A and B are shown apart, each in its own frame.
Chain A
Amino acid sequence: MLLVPCPNCGPRNAADLSYNGESHARPDPTTCTPEDWRTYLYLRDNPSGWLRESWYCSSGCRKHFTIERHTLTGELRTPILPGSKPGATKGETK
């Protein structure tokens, strides 16, 4: 079982949250080319290692947040709510 530390709700079973996948900066849809937009939509780094990704605390605080997770070991670190600084949350790493 994967324990995901929500910045608001603390460690929760991953089944209680929704997984959004890799977190990338969204290009400005008004200025970017279709190719850039599709690259943002579809292409992924998908590393075997540390990955910055986005989760949604769907059955808790209903907030989206980002977190770093090691895709091989399942280790989690530095959960961040958008707009806040790293470390300013109640989240715990596993």
Chain B
Amino acid sequence: MLCRANPAGDGAAQFGDGIRNDRLRFAETAEPDQRHPCIAVGCLHVGDVGQLEASNTCGYQRNALTGCDKTHDGGVLGRLDRRVVTHIATAHECPDLGVQRRRTLARESDEGVVPETTETHRSLCGDCVTDGHGNQQSIMAEHIGLHGRTHGDRAGDANVDRSVGQRPSLLVGRHRVEFDTYIGPCRPEAMQERRDELIGGRVDETEPESTPSADTKLLGSPQHALRRHEELTGMGEKRLTVGGQSHSTSCPLEQGETEVGLELADLLAQRRLSDVELRGSSPEMELVGNGDKGTEAAQRCQLIHSIILSVVVDLLLHHYRSMRQTAEMGKHKPPARYSAFGLLWRGLRKQSWPRIWREPEFKSSYDVVIIGGGVHGLATAYYLAANHGITDIAVVDRAYLGSGGSGRNTAIVRSNYLTPEGVAFYDRSLELYNSMSNDLNLNVMFSERGHLTLAHTDSALRTMHWRAEVNKLQGIDSSVIDPTEIKKLTPSLDVSTHTRYPIMGALYHPPGGTIRHDAVVWGYARGADAYGVDLFQQTEVLDILTEGDHGSGKVTGVRTSRGDISTPVVVNCTAGWASTISSMVDVRLPITTHPLQAAVTEPVKTFLPTVVVSGSLHVYVSQTDRGELVFGASVDPVATYNMGGTLEFTEELAGHVLELMPGISKMRLLRQWAGLCDMTPDYSPVMGPTPVDGFYVDVGWGTYGFKAGPVSGEQMAACVANGATPDLIKPFELSRFTEGNLVGEKGAAAVGH
């Protein structure tokens, strides 16, 4: 392993303000034979919240210290700190696997893990990860060089040169990290050079005349040294240097010393300030500071040029990457990329757009047959092809793609569920939705507008608090707000106390929102098609062919209205019709099919900025980009496959909506429709293998299937490709019903209780 572990308190570089007690240290490889030259990743101890340790971004080993499994993209994570693990795991690169370093910034900073911690970590430790060649020695040296104090104690192990004398250090929070500015033993000449450099820097520091401020004076050495270090090691990558000061000793913070704030913005600002001061201190830059208007104009011009240049470079890079991506898709012709430029080009030349997916030939054999061309089936096909390289797939649908629940839902997405299993699962889905437009090159019109779940009773409020706490523990942005705040967020709601169901509070979930559901279906269909997946519409499955005993045999094929297909794997993604497909192989499911009705009003000017859900009133409402109000309700009480609308529904809906928003009584309903929901007893899905070999189910999606579409596709693809159920969907296996391990999500999954 490249980095050495430091037992807690053993001089580990510490970050944080003491209250948060974030500590950063480096994980140790469990077994020498598991060593991998790519990475050593830090671990963050998050004081009161819990502990996580990211070990190896390659997923090469389990975490040595906590046993958490982690993968490059976060994968299945420790219970508490998924966000951090994801962040750290993606922050490093692995030359062996060719994974690009992804410098993602942590987005959230309210739960004890601050973005600058990781950023700081990277600034310190980014180089220790790899030098691009997997050279352990140099990596080790770099690492030690940058973490002098951390690893200085182990100098004997790694030949840390401690004769340099005054070591620069920086302050982070209340803690100080020192640098041994040091070049690894693999390049002794560079080491000598570096030592000279450092000595020179110290000489500079001792010249008070040339350094107007203490900050500037202190900052010079580590920055300069780091820059030099980059040059010497060929690491040209720009590093975020934390504005800090160099000190001769590693004593605790003394009174009067400047403390570097925790906020990333502060760090950056301080750095900029220091840079300016540095520039101001040099004679040639003083001219700039004298307010010469011509020079200012030139500077502005230069700035504009650099912005334009960077935009152009970004565009070119994006184009290049997309070309690479499409080229990697193999022999199949990549789809026309949608872009503003493409729109203009085709508009000017009056070109028509090509079909979004092919009309493929019906083959008699496929590796995988997916029944159901909705968002779940198509996402499974897409991720099987994209993540696992399985492209010989047929997706069959009785009607048209997205004709079932995918095109009938109210397009609300959120992750504020009640059980830890549910929260982890739906949060991954929200992540995938967030990046979907880019991933699929199709605008899915994700509107992250916030999601309010109203509480009208004490018990409902208690459940909201429960959910908020579960969510916060899992890193989900979710909190309970009072009627005053609700009124501020959505002024059209009646929060007075004289109503039949007064609003007593709400669970506010800012990441929730709406998406255009058709676009999601089309995006996945187009993506899967580009990988060579065959999509067959108007192809009804009549039977599933098996060999062996009923209910425990092996799948051999599928009989469709177009002919037989021989296949070893069938995935049932038919939602409301799940039982009818499963009965073909004698697999009984814990599912009853109920219709759920929805309705939409005429379009009006935008007045409802959030998604509003009321469990007590059995209604949820959101306003589309077009201005229509979309209403949904609870499922009808009687199980049926009939999708006709009823007058009872509209009457009840209108009454309930007007209790929430009396001001919209003059609005007219335009239309209503129904979709079929495959309800399970515990309001959680049924995913994974069944007693019949090769027959997988992704069903039981009830009233929450759309918001789980991407993640269930991703996980089902992993399940089918690897033949093992991924941890994220392990709690949702069919066997939980006979084992009695239900995942009770009713409190958060529906409005029908």
Is A73 a contact of B579 with CB atoms below 8 Å? no
Is A39 a contact of B738 with CB atoms below 8 Å? yes
Chain A residues within 8 Å of chain B by Cβ, number: 25
Is B642 a contact of A73 with CB atoms below 8 Å? yes
Cα separation A34 to B740 with both chains bound (whole Å):
9
Q: Which residues of A contact B738 (CB under 8 A)?
A: 35, 38-39
For residue A35, which residue of chain B has the nearest CB?
Answer: B738
Residue among A19, A44, A45, A51 with most chain B CB within 10 A: A44
A60 near B: Cβ within 8 Å? no
Of residues 579 through 598 on chain B, the ones whose CB sits less than 8 Å from some CB of chain A are 579-580, 583, 588-593
Is A47 a contact of B648 with CB atoms below 8 Å? no
B561 near A: Cβ within 8 Å? no
Cα separation A14 to B580 with both chains bound (whole Å):
25
Q: Which residues of A contact B338 (CB under 8 A)?
A: none
Is B589 a contact of A19 with CB atoms below 8 Å? no
For residue A4, which residue of chain B has the nearest CB?
Answer: B638
Of residues 588 through 634 on chain B, the ones whose CB sits less than 8 Å from some CB of chain A are 588-593
Q: Which residues of B contact A34 (CB under 8 A)?
A: 740
Is B648 a contact of A42 with CB atoms below 8 Å? no
Over the window 624-667 of chain B, the binary record of Cβ atoms lying under 8 Å from chain A Cβ atoms (1 yes, 0 no) is: 00000000000001111110001110000000000000000000
For residue B643, which residue of chain A has the nearest CB?
Answer: A72
Is A71 a contact of B589 with CB atoms below 8 Å? no
In the complex, which of the residues A1, A14, A45, A74 contacts B642, with contact meaning CB atoms closer than 8 Å? A74
For residue B587, which residue of chain A has the nearest CB?
Answer: A43
Of residues 384 through 424 on chain B, the ones whose CB sits less than 8 Å from some CB of chain A are none
A88 near B: Cβ within 8 Å? no
> Using a Cβ cutoff of 8 Å, how many contacts connect chains A and B?
67
For residue A2, which residue of chain B has the nearest CB?
Answer: B638
Cα separation A53 to B637 with both chains bound (whole Å):
13
A61 near B: Cβ within 8 Å? no
Q: Which residues of A contact B593 (CB under 8 A)?
A: 46, 48, 71
Cα separation A51 to B583 with both chains bound (whole Å):
14
For the complex formed, measure the closest distance between the CB of A74 and the CB atoms of chain B, giving whole angstroms.
Answer: 6
For the complex formed, measure the closest distance between the CB of A10 and the CB atoms of chain B, giving whole angstroms.
Answer: 19
A92 near B: Cβ within 8 Å? no
In the complex, which of the residues B583, B637, B642, B740 contacts A47, with contact meaning CB atoms closer than 8 Å? B583
Q: Which residues of B contact A1 (CB under 8 A)?
A: 646-648
Please list 6 pairs of residues, one from A and one from B, whose beta carbons are closer than 8 Å in the complex, sorted by A's number: A19-B639, A38-B737, A47-B580, A48-B579, A48-B641, A51-B639
Chain A residues with CB under 8 Å of chain B are: 1-2, 14-15, 19, 21-22, 34-35, 38-39, 41-48, 51, 53, 71-74
Which 4 pairs show the lowest CB-CB distances between chains A and B?
A46-B579, A42-B590, A43-B588, A42-B737
Chain B residues with CB under 8 Å of chain A are: 577, 579-580, 583, 588-593, 637-642, 646-648, 681, 737-740
A-B contacts besides A43-B589, A46-B589, 19 pairs, CB < 8 Å = A34-B740, A35-B738, A38-B738, A41-B681, A42-B590, A43-B588, A44-B579, A44-B588, A44-B590, A45-B583, A46-B579, A46-B592, A47-B579, A48-B577, A53-B639, A71-B641, A72-B641, A72-B642, A74-B642
